[in-house]
Chain A
Amino acid sequence: MAGASQQGGFAFDLCKRNEFFEAKGVKHPGFTKTGTTIAGIIFKDGVVLGADTRSTAGTTVADKNCEKIHYIAPNIYCCGAGTAADTENVTGMVASQLELHRYATGAQSRVVTAMTLLKGHLFKYQGHVSAALVLGGVDFRGPHLFTVYPHGSTDSLPYCTMGSGSLNAMAVFESGYKDDLTREEAMDLVARAIRSGIMNDLGSGSNVDLCIITKDGVEYLRNHEYLQAKTYERQFPQKFASGSVPVVRERIYDIKKVVTVVEGEPMDMEA
């Protein structure tokens, strides 16, 4: 690939090739998208992030229970909407960069650092890396919540939603948000918002994941609400209520006559 710059900069060698293919009528390959509802809210002591768990490839559900809340740092997590490959790889990349940075500095990662790394990367690719993220965490300056758009712009907000179910979730936030929410109120509001996306948007579904980050630590509630549970579970063995079944024959064995109970040592199960 002659002409590509050695360090940084843009390399557009393959764009001409893609244009040539499109002119010939070759279809651009499709990709797994996460039609999604993701949301985040800042409460008194931290951040609550929420996401649904449906991953779609066109009109098919590809993964019924995928994880959309990605680890970035021990105190920073990121929800991702858009192309699944893009969100996973971009968050993984930034998580690795931040870990190396922590070794170099010896200090806790800051949420703005993650935000700056993400937006720089996404802007460089001019929106072709289709990752719409809700980034939240707590560092020494307090709780932070950012949205990062595929073209590289960011917003700093007390509550935000992204994905195809974002309007549905935002309706719940706009009617329920107030200053200084408690942890329980914030969890309930985020769960309601994600549930609103799941119930009203076809691209979102299955279950609700929550992630609560405070300065004391992270609580990752995978499948906090299991909305696609089976309505009927068969019992094994079948339990019949007494009197519901006619008794045909009754025979009682008194086994005390043939069995002797002897006290002894419990069996060693360790081996």
Chain B
Amino acid sequence: MQPRPQSHSAALGPGCTGPSLANPTPLAFDHQRQVAQAPSCGAEAFAVDPAALANGQPRKHTTYPYVTGTSVLGITYKDGVLLASDTLGAYGSTKRYKSFDRLRKVNESCIVGAGGELSDFQYIMRLLEELSDDDFCMDDGHTLKPAEVHSYLCRVLYNRRNKMDPLWNSLVVGGFHAGKPFLGTVGMQGTNYTDAHVATGFGNHLARPLMREHHRPDMSEEEATALLHQCLKVCYYRDKNSINKFTIAKVSAEGVTISEPFALETEWRYKLFENPAANAAGAW
């Protein structure tokens, strides 16, 4: 049995599969003969299999996302971090996958939420699972801290961007470690920062102003949940690619809980919506 090939190639960088996965290699492929210089530490050299290139297969680069998720919201409160998003995977303007979990658990102290291309998010989760599995096998009591997960994802996304083949995602990393909440975001170019409240996509324009108005670092969980509900509602009203089905993920000292999907009460029957053309024939 061949060992499962790692998704991290020491030569290509994190998040990039080495030649063994990227291109089909014949069994007789001898690294040391094909490549002039290989690292003396024994790592794989950066070598694209010439056989694959010779077949005329083009090297594909991500230029356009297909199945996308919209905004992810995150806020810190007194005892932890809350992440929120809807559960829609949109295919252009079609609401194609209405039960897609865009908030996922990494380990007991860290959660990740993603907008953008959802297949790339699934790949990112696979990378994080590999890291967590390695931790589990080491069995030394250490798990990835949320700041480490955030830093790792920054490097992966920036690395891929430099290869002109980005992972088309806007990620939010939330965690609770050593009694302090952690909240950070990473964009598809590798732009990253940490803050008391973050949002991706439309959430930046719609939710962030409300968070700036109402957020305090010593909020209780109820207040934080109420603020998130308000922001989710506004995002649902004004973002075309969203549905009224949300999940909220919580990280605190007790660990991670991801809620069941829920809907919010929305108001569509204001009196003045009823007959807009009453005094303005021809308008709507």
Q: Which residues of A are in contact with B by a Cβ distance under 8 Å?
A: 42, 111-112, 115-116, 141-142, 144, 146, 154-158, 167-168, 170-172, 174-175, 177-180, 192, 196, 199-200
Contact = CB atoms under 8 A, between A and B. Distances in A.
B41 interface: no
Contact of A172 (B202, B209, B237, B280): B209
Contacts of A179: 270-272
Given A158-B273, A196-B213, A174 B283 contact: no
B280 A200 contact: no
Best-surrounded residue of B213, B238, B271, B273 (most CB of chain A within 10 A):
B213
A229 B283 CA distance: 41
Contacts of A141: 279
Nearest to B230: A175
Contacts of A158: 270-273
Contacts of B276: 155-157
Given A174-B237, A174-B238, A154 B210 contact: no
B236 to A, nearest CB: 10
A156 B237 contact: no
Contact of B234 (A111, A144, A175, A199): A175
Contact of B279 (A116, A142, A154, A196): A142
B126 interface: no
Given A167-B205, A175-B230, A155 B284 contact: yes
B209 A156 contact: no
Interface residues of B, number: 27
B207 interface: yes
A146 B280 contact: yes
Interface string B259-274: 0000000000011110
Given A171-B207, A196-B209, A157 B272 contact: yes
B227 to A, nearest CB: 10
B211 to A, nearest CB: 10
Nearest to A168: B209
- Interface secondary structure of B, over-half rule: helix
B208 interface: yes
A175 B210 contact: yes
Given A167-B238, A174-B238, A156 B212 contact: no
A156 B206 contact: no
Interface of B: 202, 205-210, 212-213, 230-231, 233-234, 237-238, 270-273, 276-277, 279-284
Contacts of A144: 279-280
A79 to B, nearest CB: 18
A169 to B, nearest CB: 8
A17 B273 CA distance: 46
A73 B190 CA distance: 52
A167 B240 CA distance: 13
A81 B158 CA distance: 38
B238 A42 contact: no
A205 to B, nearest CB: 14
Contacts of B206: 167-168, 170-171
A42 B280 CA distance: 15
Contacts of B277: 156
A154 B280 contact: yes
A174 B238 CA distance: 9
A171 B208 CA distance: 9
Contacts of A199: 209, 212
Contacts of A42: 272
Given A144-B279, A155-B283, A172 B210 contact: yes
Given A155-B283, A199-B209, A174 B233 contact: yes
A154 B212 contact: no
21 contacts: A112-B280, A115-B283, A141-B279, A146-B283, A154-B280, A155-B284, A156-B277, A156-B279, A156-B283, A157-B273, A167-B205, A167-B238, A168-B209, A172-B210, A174-B234, A175-B234, A179-B272, A196-B209, A196-B210, A200-B205, A200-B212
A180 B206 CA distance: 24
B238 A170 contact: yes
A121 to B, nearest CB: 15
Given A158-B273, A167-B238, A175-B230, A112 B279 contact: yes
A199 B213 CA distance: 10
